[in-house]
Amino acid sequence: MFGRSIRLFEIFGFAVKVDASWLILAVLVTWSLAGGYFPQAQQGLSPATYLWMGVAGAAGLFASIIFHELSHSLVARRYGMPIRGITLFIFGGVAEMEDEPPTARAEFLMAVAGPIASGLLALASYVLVLLGEGTGAPVALLAVIGWLSFVNTMLAVFNLVPAFPLDGGRMLRAALWHWTGNIQWATRLSANAGSIFGFVLIALGLLNLVSGNVIGGIWYALIGMFLRAAAASSYMQLQTRRIFEGEPVRRFMVRDLVTVPRDITVQRLVNDFVYVHYHEMFPVVDESGVRGGVGIAQIKQVPREKWDVARVSEIMSPTSGENTVTADLDAVDALKLMRRTGNSRLMVLENGKLVGLVTLKDLLHLISLKMDLEGQQ
């Protein structure tokens, strides 16, 4: 993802969100359809008609991607895989899985559901065009539906490429996993395939740039770079699980704590704590124990001129399930919580008492060290 997402609606219990980067894709699709594709495909229509055709095409693409990702999500739910929601961004969409699939069969069925859904949409759109031509439907409408048939066909075909994290790559991983019983090896191989395919797209983008197709070249290159990064990230996530699964948070927490009183001013918090210790979040305590956490995110919400009057107690985030974990919690679950909430530092409690902090920076550093020392690639 590129930034914060905006929740649009909910369907079948899945929240559908859109990343701000999706607006770039929507504008580009509308512009290219209204200014290039439809005027060439259906000549003689008014500029206003082409504009509305472009808008309708972009909306249809929006719905098609949601349908594709929804099919993944429904199958994932069937096999007990939690999905946080569906997010659309500049390169398409993603069903946000919280965990790895439980079996190779579950992954294969979840992955293949997307291309099947897109293929069915393509077929249904093609049938509608044939029916419309027989009944004299407006040519502008038929052109939009015909384009949606084409784009869903391309969506299905592209996602069948055996390159992780595309659907075809997940199908490849599932097959290798089923064959060998080793999900780590299967992920590394399919992720390497994704990295190679990404490199091919980047090379294709450079060739298009040299030949004068600037827009197409940029898109190929961007998609290639995205796929390479996503493939590497997917393998890293699996390595992270291998390293931390079954290990309690207490093993990785920091015990040397810097806490702040709840009654000091924001100005003193900044001067005596943030600028001295450089932490992004500090536990807030009083005589009763830990009361919450305060850090950069809360300070930025206070106008600079009010730092000398606002108190930590007024801006802190109270202790909750989003900023605290128990010492016995599996470290993998702590990482999931960090990813879901965006909190990079979690307070560790034992019998309700603050005993440490677990930080994303320390966990990532440990992953790097272990992979370096153990020769992981």
From 160, 183, 199, the end of a domain falls on: 160
pLDDT beyond 60 at 3: no
pLDDT beyond 60 at 74: yes
Domain count for the chain: 2
Residues 151 and 54 grouped into a single domain: yes
Tokens representing residue 44 in the block: 């003689």
On whether residue 265 sits in a domain, the answer given is: yes
Residues 144 and 11 grouped into a single domain: yes
On whether residue 323 sits in a domain, the answer given is: yes
pLDDT at 374: 62
Based on the residue annotation, tell me whether 69 is a catalytic residue of this protein. Answer: yes
pLDDT beyond 50 at 103: yes
From 160, 180, 213, the end of a domain falls on: 160
Residues 133 and 267 grouped into a single domain: no
On whether residue 134 sits in a domain, the answer given is: yes
Q: Which residue's entry shows tokens 């407006």?
A: 138
b/e map of 258-291 (b: 16 or more CB within 10 Å)?
ebbebebbbbbbbeebbeeeebebbbbbeeeebb
pLDDT at 268: 94
From 125, 160, 195, the end of a domain falls on: 160
In this prediction, residues 200-220 reach a mean pLDDT of 86
* pLDDT tier at 2, thresholds 50, 70, 90: very low
On whether residue 72 sits in a domain, the answer given is: yes
Task: List beta partners, residue 92.
Answer: 89
Choice among 158-167, 212-221, 318-327 with the minimum mean pLDDT: 212-221
Number of Cβ atoms within 10 Å of the Cβ of 147 = 22
- CATH number of the domain residue 351 falls in: 3.10.580.10
On whether residue 262 sits in a domain, the answer given is: yes
Q: Which domain holds residue 330?
A: 249-373
Distance of alpha carbon 164 from alpha carbon 179, whole angstroms: 17
Tell me how far CA of residue 130 lies from CA of 52, 106, 155, 208, in angstroms: 22, 36, 21, 35
pLDDT at 232: 82
On whether residue 257 sits in a domain, the answer given is: yes
On whether residue 18 sits in a domain, the answer given is: yes
pLDDT per residue over 112-171, tens digit each?
Answer: 999 999 999 999 999 999 999 888 889 999 999 999 999 999 999 999 999 888 899 999
Residues 270 and 135 grouped into a single domain: no
Count Cα atoms within 13 angstroms, Cβ side, for 298. 25
pLDDT at 70: 93
pLDDT at 61: 92
pLDDT per residue over 248-274, tens digit each?
Answer: 888 889 888 899 999 999 999 999 999
On whether residue 215 sits in a domain, the answer given is: no
| Catalytic residue (one of 69, 98, 280, 374) | 69
